Amino acid sequence: MGRRLYYITVISTIVGVVLSSVFFWLFYQVETKNIEREFQDEVNDKALSYYKGLQFHLEGVYALKSHFDNNEILTASAFANNSAFILSRHNKVKALEWIPKVAHQERSAYEQQGKRNYPQFSITERLASGIMVPASIREYYYPVYYLEPLEGNRAALGYDMSSNAQRREVMYRAIESGNMEISEGVKLVQSENNDIGVLALLPVYQDLAQPKNELNLKGFILGVFDLSSIFSSIYRGGENTELALNLWDTTIPAKRTLLFARQIEGEAQQSLLPQYRYTRSVMDLGGRRWVLEATPSELYFSERRTQTPFWVFVAGNLFFGLSSWLAFVAAKKNQQTQNALDEKNIQLNEANEKLERLTKTDALTGIANRRYFDEYFQQEFLRAKREKKPLALLVLDIDAFKAFNDTYGHQAGDRCLRLVATELERILKRPADHIARIGGEEFAILLPNTNNGEVVARQCKVAIERLAIEHKSAEHAKIVTISVGVVSGCKLENHTPDTLFNLADSALYQAKSAGRNTVRAISVLPNPKPELMTLC
């Protein structure tokens, strides 16, 4: 009877735990699906609200165009008054602009007229460095002629829209379609921080009865939109710890562009749930397709969960309390066994790591040895070649070190090697920079993402001189010095680690031949032929 009761108790416990777990899982999954559906509905609402908000503010551009359709000439003051009224209603529009088509022969007249309204006015373009300069000669210019508001936007006055490829592309799309076209995300000329915005261009034609082309074009009404301020209108309180939102331009699927991002604040950023990421189309308008991508955090789900699954689980397990206790005892014993096994594994891993460190460290100097250097050099060389980044390699040799050993003894020689290694290691500042002892008195330094290793080489040379280690038997100096060969490469397509090392070794040979205590640098050009760049 006792054995039978024992079996029944065990089976009942197992059945109870299984049933409790199944019901907990079912309730939990249903609740998760409901929360996920609520999350998707919220994202859908945000996408729709953002689209409606954007459409509302785009109406401001159409409202301004109506004045140009009804008036042959619109003065600067009339433009300012009309624009100010429109901006008071559409307060998310950063600026409204009138951009006339100006033929080259009309440029001087337009600039003189523009100076009457804005004394510093001239037709300009922006260099790659960000400096605004007079626009280059071209058949037609499309300068920002009228602008409202001026405050915070003066840098855009006179800027030739056609001087920029992104802006020029959307202009020609607008000319061809005759409708409003929206640009991809652009860095705004009037922004000191190079903020990303979008431009909405609406063409204005001389004669609406004539074909819509550049010959018939009068100019453009342009609206500058601050995406972040429009985006802020769809926020709700507290969601900055629950939702990460990204607005993407997916007009070209293979080249999607991030227009705006609002990341989760604080520690919640580490608890995003990418498996629930949801993407919703925002708009397909003006030649652009935008989508809203949202990712919830664990906090989003946890704040919407109820205690129902938990209490279902607790009630089931309380009913089978004795069996739960027996299961706990067995689990505890199993855990103790597992802990002992884990401890053994940790000790074994520590021993393996210690052994690996010993195989990669030079026992005398404490820096990396030749084996580790070869592995690291191969890895960084392939990375620089793949990512098309520069790489510098220094090979250093202590001058007349054999004579130093003969004069002062091998113990003094070992101390000298340790001092030199420590001083050279001190020169390196970046985590990626590595030094290794690759021979008796020979060292190597690898500098990833460096196109001028000669600077570090000179620092190494001066640092060793400052040690002022006495070397009476040296012919070139009475202190310990080093000679350094440097190779710096920006284009490594035609090289291998061996050829790069041979170039550095060749530079070291030149330094030795030049009288020691010198640096010789070789720069690797795009062709396989190296060029001796500098001497010191």
pLDDT of residue 214: 85
Active site residues: 441
498, 391, 491: which is closest to 446 by C-alpha?
391
pLDDT of residue 535: 43
* Structure confidence by residue, pLDDT tens digits, 422-439: 999 999 989 999 999 998
Average pLDDT, integer, range 151-171: 87
Question: How distant, in Å, are the alpha carbons of 3, 11, 14, 460 from that of 325?
Answer: 18, 14, 12, 69
Confidence check: pLDDT of 534 > 60: no
- Every domain of the chain with CATH number 3.30.450.350 lies at 61-231
pLDDT of residue 422: 93
Q: How far apart are CA 54 and CA 90, in angstroms?
A: 10
pLDDT of residue 3: 64
Identify the CATH class of 370-523: alpha beta
Give strand pairing partners of 251. none
Q: How confident is the model at residue 334 (pLDDT cuts 50, 70, 90)?
A: low
pLDDT of residue 97: 92
Confidence check: pLDDT of 328 > 70: no
Average pLDDT, integer, range 219-246: 79
* Across 13-17, 190-194, 228-232, 282-286, least confident range: 190-194
Structure tokens at 1: 């009877």
Average pLDDT, integer, range 238-259: 84
* Structure confidence by residue, pLDDT tens digits, 340-391: 888 888 888 777 777 776 778 988 998 999 999 999 999 999 999 888 899 9
Q: What is the mean pLDDT of the chain?
A: 85
Q: How confident is the model at residue 336 (pLDDT cuts 50, 70, 90)?
A: confident
Confidence check: pLDDT of 143 > 80: yes
* Across 110-124, 204-218, 443-457, least confident range: 204-218
pTM: 0.53
Beta-strand pair 519-524/482-489: parallel
Structure tokens at 113: 């007229």
Structural domain 61-231, CATH architecture:
2-Layer Sandwich (3.30)
Confidence check: pLDDT of 140 > 90: yes
- Every domain of the chain with CATH number 3.30.70.270 lies at 370-523
State the burial class of residue 151 (Cβ atoms within 10 Å of its Cβ: 0-12, 13-18, 19+).
exposed
Q: Is the dihedral of CA 251, 253, 255, 258 positive or negative?
A: positive
424, 498, 418: which is closest to 460 by C-alpha?
424
- In angstroms, how far is CA 480 from the centroid of its own chain? 45
pLDDT of residue 525: 67
* Structure confidence by residue, pLDDT tens digits, 92-123: 888 999 999 999 999 999 999 888 888 888 99
Percent share of the chain, pLDDT over 70 = 89
